[in-house]
């Protein structure tokens, strides 16, 4: 069967895939159409929601409908120290910026000076907690990354490259305190291992990886 002329995937195309045929993306195709192509586990596909192409066996929906087993994946591309540092700075900017804006609005609307001071001090205490929650929620989400990490094209996963649970995300981000307390040497450990793990990654059995480039 000859593939149709390639058309760009639209955000609404949640159940259609572009398929790489002879090195070129073709489609989009529905799952029923993909059956006629005799898709193999190592063939590359993507939907409009995916940032990059994935092998067919990596996509849960295709494993279910096409009968593939999930192959073990060993991550090979890791986020380096510079990328992680910049992502962290961006995340602090996002979270602290939101806190500052909310504090400014509250102070602007309140006349009581004592209450203004209490709100400002309270926000300073809340921001670190808000950032912890932000990291836990985002890193255990489908995106596997905070907004800062998403901008740098890196994400958090377990040692097999899979999405981490909320519990593991809590453990990882709580363990960051150790990486920070001991004069940031916990972060510097990333320079001395092939997987570029920081101390909190080693404790939680997690990795920070870069998406495969296509």
pLDDT of residue 38: 80
Comparing 30-34, 108-112, 134-138, the range with the smallest average pLDDT is: 108-112
Q: Are residues 123 and 190 in the same domain?
A: yes
Q: How far apart are CA 175 and CA 203, in angstroms?
A: 7
Domain that holds residue 59: 16-66
In this predicted model, what pLDDT tens digit does every residue of 154-166 receive, in sequence order?
Answer: 999 998 888 999 9
pLDDT of residue 5: 45
Find the mean pLDDT for residues 25-30. 87
* Better pLDDT: 8 or 142: 142
Q: Are residues 95 and 40 in the same domain?
A: no
72 lies in some domain: no
74 lies in some domain: no
Task: Give me 132's structure tokens.
Answer: 């912890």
Comparing 3-7, 108-112, 159-163, the range with the smallest average pLDDT is: 3-7
* Better pLDDT: 211 or 28: 28
Q: Indicate the pLDDT class of residue 73, thresholds 50, 70 and 90.
A: low
Half-sphere exposure of 171 (CA within 13 A, CB side): 13
The end-to-end CA distance of the chain, in Å, is 25
Nearest-5° angle of CA 57, CA 58, CA 59? 90
pLDDT above 90 as % of the chain: 36
Q: Are 152 and 131 in contact (CB under 8 A)?
A: no
Find the mean pLDDT for residues 6-13. 43
Confidence check: pLDDT of 23 > 80? yes
1 lies in some domain: no
Q: Are residues 55 and 96 in the same domain?
A: no
Q: Are residues 22 and 118 in the same domain?
A: no
pLDDT of residue 209: 94
pLDDT of residue 22: 83
4 lies in some domain: no
Q: Are residues 61 and 163 in the same domain?
A: no
Segment holding 156, helix H or strand E:
strand 154-158
Q: Indicate the pLDDT class of residue 2, thresholds 50, 70 and 90.
A: very low
Q: Are residues 62 and 145 in the same domain?
A: no
Q: Indicate the pLDDT class of residue 36, thresholds 50, 70 and 90.
A: confident
pLDDT of residue 183: 59
Task: Give me 134's structure tokens.
Answer: 């932000």
- pTM (two decimals): 0.63
Average pLDDT taken over every residue of the chain: 82
What total number of domains does the chain contain?
2
Q: Are residues 101 and 182 in the same domain?
A: yes
């Amino acid at each position: 069967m000859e593939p149709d002329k390639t058309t760009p995937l639209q955000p609404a195309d949640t159940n259609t895939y572009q398929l790489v045929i002879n090195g070129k993306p073709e489609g989009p195709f529905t799952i029923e159409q993909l059956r006629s192509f005799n898709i193999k586990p190592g063939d590359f596909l993507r939907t409009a929601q995916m940032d990059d192409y994935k092998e067919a066996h990596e996509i849960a929906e295709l494993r279910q409908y096409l009968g593939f087993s999930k192959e073990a994946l060993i991550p090979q591309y890791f986020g380096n120290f510079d990328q992680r540092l910049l992502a962290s700075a961006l995340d602090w900017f996002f979270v602290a910026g939101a806190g500052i804006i909310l504090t400014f609005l509250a102070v602007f609307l309140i006349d009581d000076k004592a209450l203004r001071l209490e709100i400002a001090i309270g926000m300073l205490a809340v921001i670190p907690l808000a950032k912890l929650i932000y990291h836990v929620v985002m890193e255990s989400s489908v995106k596997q990354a905070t907004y800062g990490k998403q901008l740098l094209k890196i994400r958090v996963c377990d040692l097999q490259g899979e999405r981490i649970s909320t519990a593991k995300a809590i453990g990882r981000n709580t363990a960051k305190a150790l990486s920070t307390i001991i004069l940031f040497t916990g972060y510097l450990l990333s320079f001395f291992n092939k997987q570029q793990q920081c101390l909190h990654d080693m404790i939680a059995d997690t990795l920070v990886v870069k998406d495969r480039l296509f």
